[in-house]
Amino acid sequence: MLIFAAVLAACSQKVANTVPHEVKAATVATPQTNVTGKVLETVNAGGYTYLQVATASGDVWAAVQETKIEKGAVVSIAPQMVAENFESKTLNRKFDRLVMGALVSDATSTAAPHMSSAMAPPDGGAKVDKAEGGLTIAEAWASKNQLKDKPVVIRGKVVKFLPAIMGKNWLHLRDGSGEQDITVTTTDVAKIGDVVTARGTLHLDKDFGAGYVYPVIIEDARVGQ
């Protein structure tokens, strides 16, 4: 998946079309330290904030979920993946290198979070009732062999949102039915903490290269409230 590091892990079509999903790139492994420094420039587009950060090792362009960041502010971004030659048609701009990640509250922190827990809110495992006619996440895992390549409906809380990877957005959902979450690919968008219903096709053992295999994943889903 562009080569990303660790296991990756919503809402009308009009909104989906604003997502910067055009990635004509190769991807390198996730950096081990946060991108920390003073903000030199920011621009908001398609639900994301692109910002140029002056770090100790040079200027870095990064993208996070849209938020208000003042020029001159000191920020720290926990990286989740890095795309080379990232082209955004929304901005009509190409970045030689773009770090995609999440803002962290402590600008002095340098530990990049593991992808399985990054961005998950404290109540990420709270109980979420399953959708009518749908499955819990635990049921989907338990019946994965019978559900292979079949349409499924799953409702859960978004505990991770990773935008613009291989032309899709990546969600991790949790519903409190078990310890596992489930990964969903979609062109829709959602915010961390949203409770959403995903309708897509369940696939097994999807291999995206570099040793990253998803035992269970829901692909090409429509995601809504």
pLDDT digit string (tens) for 17-71? 323 444 434 454 455 578 888 999 999 887 788 999 998 888 999 988 888 888 9
Give the 3-state secondary structure of residue 144: helix
Q: Are 154 and 98 in the same domain? A: no
Q: How many domains does the chain have?
A: 2
Between CA 31 and CA 99 the distance in angstroms is 9
Residue 192's pLDDT is 85
pLDDT recorded at residue 32: 54
Last residue of some domain: 103, 128, 154? 103
Integer Cα distance of 194 and 130 in angstroms: 14
What pairing do the DSSP bridges indicate for beta strands 182-186 and 74-88?
unpaired
Bridge partners for 169 per DSSP: 186
Reduced to 3 states (helix: H, G, I; strand: E, B; else coil), residue 193 is: coil
Asked if residue 131 is part of any domain, the answer here is: no
Residues 87 and 17 in one domain: yes
Distance CA 130, CA 199 (A): 12
Is residue 192 included in any domain, yes or no?
Answer: yes
Is 130 a domain residue? no
CATH code assigned at 66:
2.40.50
Domain that holds residue 26: 13-103
Given this model, what pLDDT does residue 60 score? 92
Asked whether 25 and 86 are in contact (CB, 8 A), the reply is yes
Q: 179 is written with which tokens?
A: 């310890």
Domain end residue (candidates: 61, 79, 103): 103
Domain co-membership, 98 together with 159: no
Task: Confirm whether 187 is domain-assigned.
Answer: yes
Are 98 and 22 in the same domain?
Answer: yes
Whether 112 is in a domain gets the answer no
Residue 207 lies in a domain: yes
- Contact status, residue 174 vs residue 207, Cβ threshold 8 Å: no
Residue from 154, 159, 153, 218 nearest 194 by CA: 159
Indicate the DSSP class of residue 164.
Answer: E
Instruction: Tell me if 30 sits within 8 A of 6, measured CB to CB.
Output: yes
Question: How many angstroms separate the Cα of 169 from the Cα of each of 20, 40, 145, 158?
Answer: 10, 27, 25, 12
Task: Indicate whether 55 belongs to any domain.
Answer: yes
Domain assignment of residue 39, yes or no: yes
User: Tell me, what's the pLDDT at 80?
Assistant: 74
Regions of the chain short of the pLDDT cut 70 = 1-32, 105-126, 208-212
pTM for this prediction = 0.51
Transcribe 15-79 into DSSP letters.
HHTTS-----S-EEPPPSS-EEEEEEEEEEETTEEEEEEEETTEEEEEEEES----TT-EEEEEE
Contacts of 105 (CB under 8 A, 6+ apart): none
